[in-house]
């Protein structure tokens, strides 16, 4: 831990305390009128060094692995007071490198255990407004990627993911995913996917309770998007959600809808082969449904010859036995209608 020890070695708790004091200073004075620019610069440099030191303790420094006891001390002191809140709130005020270091510190702390307790999870449960701050970060180009990365680590905790899923923020993700800035849109999409796939039981409960508005938005804004990446990621995510056993009730509801079927049939005709293939993995669920509603059967029967003709020439670029087997089964199901 070069640079961590001077005349008197600092303990990990000391580093946290000094970081906290500096964060309080920056939070109060950074950019304020009447602040001494030279003093502010010194404090900023000191803060950057301290956050870098925190990162070294948590991750090791390239030469040495992190020391468990040091990580425990750091974590205990970090969550003894509002250091996490201060660190998150000061992200917009520090330089890029310090933002990156701060993001790594926050990420690591989500995994640190103290006597089998995850203090970060307990702290966030008591300070859920911080999640609101992180999510709203997608609206600020400067901090979006840093807050997004922090957010994904925070939703590793099931209770925190549930809070986000049950909040009004979920509706905002349909906007964030389509932000013109590619990096931010991709980051929001990664968070959205994590929210909808990580905690199976919580996701199943969310989808069941919010089925109508969620899939109305999903179908109209993502699956029908003119943006190739948005559409491809959405159809892939839809397949992941519907094929997950935890979501079997939601899947049955989805594949019993003629409107959903028509969307999928249109996606099968997409100009992109990748989107066609991802769509097929969802379409096959409609075909495999043993209890197809009459309106679904009618659409499949009406389009039977077109579908059979399409599937006859439908191939993947690489040989894929599972795909071919699935395709044969779909052809069999449609032919038998």
3-state secondary structure the chain: CCCCECCCECCHHHHHHHHHHHHHHHHHHCCCCCCCHHHHHHHHHHHHHHHHHHHHHHHCCCCCCCCHHHHHHHHHHHCCCCHHHHHHHHHHHCCHHHHHHHHHHHHHHCCCCECCECHHHHHHHHCCHHHHHHHHHHHCCCCHHHHHHHHHHHCCCHHHHHHHHHCCHHHHHHHHCCCCCHHHHHHHHHHHHHHHHCCHHHHHHHHHHCHHHHHHHHHHHHHCCCCHHHHHHHHHHHHHHHHCHHHHHHHHHHCCCHHHHHHHHHHHCCCCHHHHHHHHHHHHHHHHCCCCCHHHHHHHHHCHHHHHHHHHCCCCCCCCHHHHHHHHHHHHHHHCC
pLDDT (0 to 100) of residue 6: 52
pLDDT (0 to 100) of residue 8: 72
Residue 200 in domain: no
pLDDT tens, per residue, the chain with 337 residues: 555 555 578 899 999 999 999 999 999 877 666 667 788 889 999 999 999 999 999 999 878 899 999 999 999 999 999 999 999 999 999 999 999 999 999 999 999 999 999 999 999 999 999 999 999 999 999 999 999 999 999 999 999 999 999 999 999 999 999 999 999 999 999 999 999 999 999 999 999 999 999 999 999 999 999 999 999 999 999 999 999 999 999 999 999 999 999 999 999 999 999 999 999 999 999 999 999 999 999 999 999 999 999 999 898 888 888 989 999 999 999 999 8
Please give the tally of structural domains in the chain.
Answer: 1
- Write down the pTM of the prediction: 0.91
Q: Which residues span the domain enclosing 236?
A: 225-337
pLDDT (0 to 100) of residue 33: 67
pLDDT (0 to 100) of residue 319: 80
Residue 38 in domain: no
Residue 235 in domain: yes
Residue 43 in domain: no
pLDDT (0 to 100) of residue 260: 97
Residue 208 in domain: no
Residue 100 in domain: no
Residue 305 in domain: yes
Residue 121 in domain: no
CATH for 261: 1.25.10.10
């Amino acid at each position: 831990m070069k640079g961590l020890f001077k005349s008197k070695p600092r303990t990990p708790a000391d580093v946290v305390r000094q970081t906290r004091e500096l964060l309080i200073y920056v939070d109060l004075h950074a950019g304020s009128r009447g602040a001494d620019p030279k003093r502010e610069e010194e404090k900023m440099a000191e803060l950057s060094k301290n956050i870098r030191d925190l990162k070294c303790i948590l991750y090791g420094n390239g030469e040495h692995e992190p020391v468990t006891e040091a990580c425990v001390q750091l974590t205990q002191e970090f969550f003894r007071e509002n250091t996490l809140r201060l660190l998150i709130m000061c992200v917009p005020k520090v330089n890029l490198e310090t933002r990156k270091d701060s993001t790594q510190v926050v990420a690591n702390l989500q995994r640190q255990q103290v006597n089998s307790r995850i203090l970060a999870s307990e702290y966030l449960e008591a300070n859920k407004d911080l999640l609101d701050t992180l999510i709203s970060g997608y609206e600020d180009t400067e901090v979006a990627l840093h807050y997004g990365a922090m957010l994904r680590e925070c939703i590793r905790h099931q209770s925190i993911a549930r809070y986000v899923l049950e909040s009004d923020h979920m509706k905002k993700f349909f906007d964030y995913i389509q932000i013109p800035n590619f990096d931010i849109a991709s980051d929001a999409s990664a968070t959205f996917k994590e929210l909808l796939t990580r905690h199976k039981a919580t996701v199943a409960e969310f989808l069941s309770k919010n089925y109508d508005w969620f899939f109305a938005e999903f179908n109209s804004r993502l699956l029908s998007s003119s943006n190739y990446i948005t559409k491809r990621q959405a159809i892939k995510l839809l397949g992941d959600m519907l094929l997950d056993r935890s979501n079997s009730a939601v899947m049955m509801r989805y594949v019993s809808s003629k409107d959903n079927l028509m969307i999928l049939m249109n996606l099968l005709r997409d100009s992109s082969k990748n989107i066609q293939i991802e769509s097929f993995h969802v379409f096959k669920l409609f075909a495999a449904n043993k209890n197809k509603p009459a309106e679904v059967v009618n659409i499949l029967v009406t389009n039977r010859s077109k579908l059979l003709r399409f599937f006859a020439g439908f191939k993947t670029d690489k040989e894929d036995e599972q795909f071919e087997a699935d395709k044969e089964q779909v052809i069999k199901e449609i032919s038998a209608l």
